[in-house]
Amino acid sequence: MTAEHLRIENVALARREDGTASGQFAAWINTAWEGFYHKPATADQLEQMLQSHEADARVLTGVYDDTRPAGLVDPLVPVATFASFAKTLNAGAGLLPAHLVTLVTVRPTHRRRGILRELMTGDLTRAKAAGFPVAALTATEATIYGRFGFGRVTEQQDLQLDVRGDVRFHAAAVGSVVQVAPEKLGDIAGTLFERFHETRRGSVGRQESYIRHATARWGDDGPEPDPKQRAAVYLDATGEVQGFVTYAFAGWDPKPVTLNVRDLVAATEVARRELFRFLAAHDLVERVSYPFAAANDPLGWALEDAARIGYSERGHGLWVRVLDVPQAFAAREYRGTGNFTLRVEDPLDLASGTYGFEVGDGLAVVTRLDDDAPATVSCDAVALGPLLLSAAGVAELHAAGLLRAEGPGEPERLGRLLDLPGLPHAINGF
């Protein structure tokens, strides 16, 4: 529990009479930025942040410590920040309303006193009451959020493509790539992402900042225009736009000379391949670096020489917390026909219970049973995210100790119902 002198307050997305961001909003943003070691926001940046927060309809929470000496500290400055907003998660057979958590910071003077625990517990409880079947976040450190029932569902890594010489692809080029001014991506970027999002298991909806980045109104250094950014779109043989990429030259000093992809969204695998072919065709550049590669990126199969690809910065991507088991697991795909009973133990008591699954025709009917109904398999809340998105096979989750199956051969039988081809993947963070 936080101490009595700490106040938890909702921070309004408010403006002063002159239209600029309110002092409380400004102090909240600057505290959150300080938590991630950014410089304080300029007035223009604050306005950008306010607009994007309004577009996302974000809910901001600040924690205030009134015992700090008033002469030394502006009382509007929080000691902790926490934000959430609503998007969707592609669970495989449908898009689930998803409660997204972001900008969690606690000042060093107040850390490890239970502030995060209190904020997260209250927030997830309210999200469940509001009807969200899942919550999600992208984490700075892997060891923080499992205790709150978030399980890792995607991996992401930097892909480095060696583009020295002639990069050869198995398939002949199709369609065409057109270089465009980034501002032309205004409508295209959102539409293409929605097409990707509707088809890719594990994808999570994008916040407003992605459009601002795509159009170079925001750059790598924050919410301000970035003239370094370039853009291109891919058109298929019928002339329909099927993908876009934004990228920037990293300069002549870092070696190898690198082109950094900032965003690449393709509605088809062919569009993705052709955008990489375009990137690989840049003269004077030795390497193309792409930051959102999946654990087993398909680009390797497109190249005659897969050894041109290297990976670095392998890390966790999206973390998912199931809040409502029947609703979440009804939006997932299944295989075969059969049934099983799952018991969930949840330290926050949000998803606890025993659930019956009747699987058939690629879907499942999931119902809550009496808590003491016999279970064929049991797990803690932290395993629900990976199980929901089939981020690992049942046998792997069982061997990892995340799933406990009650009989010989049970993991294999459940795997035949639950294991899906391919891995979930998300191409954004928040």
Ligand X SMILES: CC(=O)SCCNC(=O)CCNC(=O)[C@H](O)C(C)(C)COP(=O)(O)OP(=O)(O)OC[C@H]1O[C@@H](n2cnc3c(N)ncnc32)[C@H](O)[C@@H]1OP(=O)(O)O
Chain residues that interact with ligand X, rule: CB under 6 A: 35, 101-106, 111-117, 137, 139-141, 143-144, 147
- Tell me whether residue 98 or residue 192 sits nearer to ligand X (CB atom): 98
| Distance in angstroms (rounded) separating the CA atoms of residues 135 and 85 | 10
As measured in angstroms, the least distance from the Cβ of 25 to ligand X is: 18
As measured in angstroms, the least distance from the Cβ of 133 to ligand X is: 19
| Distance in angstroms (rounded) separating the CA atoms of residues 220 and 346 | 39
| Distance in angstroms (rounded) separating the CA atoms of residues 413 and 429 | 35
As measured in angstroms, the least distance from the Cβ of 7 to ligand X is: 15
As measured in angstroms, the least distance from the Cβ of 44 to ligand X is: 24
Is 106 marked as a binding-site residue? yes
Is 350 marked as a binding-site residue? no
The torsion of the CA quartet 29, 35, 36, 39, rounded to 10 degrees, works out to: 60
As measured in angstroms, the least distance from the Cβ of 312 to ligand X is: 21
As measured in angstroms, the least distance from the Cβ of 28 to ligand X is: 14
Is 299 marked as a binding-site residue? no
Of 350, 346, 341, whose CA–CA distance to 381 is shortest? Answer: 346
Is 321 marked as a binding-site residue? no
- Tell me whether residue 120 or residue 270 sits nearer to ligand X (CB atom): 120
- Tell me whether residue 258 or residue 428 sits nearer to ligand X (CB atom): 428
- Tell me whether residue 123 or residue 274 sits nearer to ligand X (CB atom): 123
Is 285 marked as a binding-site residue? no
Is 366 marked as a binding-site residue? no
Residue located via tokens 């026909």: 337
As measured in angstroms, the least distance from the Cβ of 124 to ligand X is: 12
Report, as residue numbers or ranges, the catalytic residues. Answer: 145, 430
Q: What 3 state SS string does the chain have? A: CCCCCEEEEEECCCECCCCCECHHHHHHHHHHHHHCCCCCCCHHHHHHHHHHHHHHCCEEEEEEECCCCCCCCCCCCCCEEEEEEEEEEECCCCEEEEEEEEEEEECHHHCCCCHHHHHHHHHHHHHHHCCCCEEEEECCCCCCCHHHCCEECCEEEEEEEECCCCCCECCCCCCEEEEECHHHHHHHHHHHHHHHHHHCCCCECCCCHHHHHHCCCCECCECCCCCCCEEEEEECCCCCEEEEEEEEECCCCCCCCEEEEEEEEECCHHHHHHHHHHHHCCCCCCEEEEEEECCCCCHHHHECCHHHEEEEEEEECEEEEECCHHHHHCCCCCCCCEEEEEEEECCCCCCCEEEEEEEECCEEEEEEECCCCCCCEEEEHHHHHHHHHCCCCHHHHHHCCCEEECCCCHHHHHHHHHCCCCCCCCCCCC
- Tell me whether residue 146 or residue 411 sits nearer to ligand X (CB atom): 146
- Tell me whether residue 6 or residue 233 sits nearer to ligand X (CB atom): 6
Is 104 marked as a binding-site residue? yes
- Tell me whether residue 18 or residue 141 sits nearer to ligand X (CB atom): 141
Is 112 marked as a binding-site residue? yes
Is 198 marked as a binding-site residue? no
Return binding residues.
104-106, 112-117, 140-141
Return binding residues for acetyl-CoA.
104-106, 112-117, 140-141
